[in-house]
Amino acid sequence: MSRERTRGFIGYKLDQAKLLERARDIQVATYDMDPVDYMKNHSVEDLVLVMINEPDAYGCAKHAVICGEGVGWIQDEYRTCLVPVSIGWSGDSRVYLGVDVLKSCLTGETVDLADFVRVFGDRLESNLSLWQYKMSDIDQTKITENRYDLPNLVEA
């Protein structure tokens, strides 16, 4: 049975190599790891950055990082988002990167979330639907700006 997905919710692709370099910089400094070994043994999956209709402490739209299964991580109070880092076949690590760092990793490519989130059952469809709801009424073209005030919070 084929489902028709809602289209028009755009995410901005993040450069996997740049994300891995930023993760390496943090983890090597934190855990005294060898930077060359880190790059050989770790990877970052395909991710996109979006803005969502949730205000941060300043009334600006929060950002979120989303993976191909529609799982995502919303910006926290420190303006950072979790970025999952794979460690070979043995497991995952996590690194928190600032929104400004994430923006510096944008490739300039966009993708419709309907195409980005893979098709595989109700869970992924539900994940996609949730992100599309959270992205409603947000002008994603403003993602590179320093702040994006949520329309319903800005005084005229």
pLDDT tens, residue order, the chain (156 aa): 456 877 888 999 999 999 988 988 888 777 777 777 776 778 788 999 999 999 888 888 899 999 888 889 999 999 999 998 876 655 567 889 999 999 999 999 999 998 888 777 676 677 887 889 999 888 888 887 766 666 554 443
How many Cα atoms within 13 Å fall on the side-chain side of residue 96? 9
4 exposure class (CB count in 10 Å sphere: 0-12, 13-18, 19+): exposed
d(CA 28, CA 120): 36
152 exposure class (CB count in 10 Å sphere: 0-12, 13-18, 19+): exposed
d(CA 65, CA 52): 10
Q: Is 74 helix (H, G, I), strand (E, B) or coil?
A: strand
Q: Please tell me the pTM assigned to this model.
A: 0.85
Q: Is 39 helix (H, G, I), strand (E, B) or coil?
A: helix
- Check: CB of residue 138 under 8 Å from CB of residue 8: no
How many Cα atoms within 13 Å fall on the side-chain side of residue 2? 1
